[in-house]
Amino acid sequence: MNLDSELEDWRGEWQSQSAVPADLRRRVERQSRWMQIMIAADILVTVVIGGGTIALAIRAPQTDMALLAAATWVFIAAAWTFRVIAGRGLWSPRAVSTEAFVNLLIRRCRAQIAATVFGACLYACEITFCLVWIYMHAWPRPPLQQLLFGSLFICLVWLFTLVFFGLLVWYRRRKRAELAWLLQNYPTTTK
């Protein structure tokens, strides 16, 4: 086979492949933009909350403030570790084909479903640590039931917790439905 006929064969194969549907491409691009926005938000939280606890620990050099700063950074490190591991390979499709774009959407859905479980566990650990820390530093120490429902601030924390877990359940159901739809409508995908 000579070079010209081989190039002609390759060109024929390339032109015979179908283009990625525009709606699928837009969906991936929209999700990619949201991923960038969420990274920026995570960086902001890291700087504000992580930096804030370090500033508090420096202003009040006591063991309890150092413990608060250390615990905050452990939670931040856990969140970033999960983000990096779960986000690996989710930024762009492996090829410019419909199958690659669908596989990317499927991998993103699975990562987002896993993120809901991780987020719930991390939030439970954070809220437990914070409530214990507040209880240990309240003087005089209130009865436990007063800590759980004793002030407007604590009641707002519980309200926020209910809203957070409600939104988490809603988001998880939405992503599971999206994953089911993708697997049903694109059954030839490999992942």
pLDDT digit string, tens, across residues 135-174: 777 667 666 666 666 677 778 888 999 999 999 999 999 9
Contacts of 156 (CB under 8 A, 6+ apart): none
Nearest to 34 by CA among 171, 182, 187: 171
Q: What is the pLDDT of residue 10?
A: 57
Give me the chain's average pLDDT, please: 86
Domain ranges of the chain: 22-185
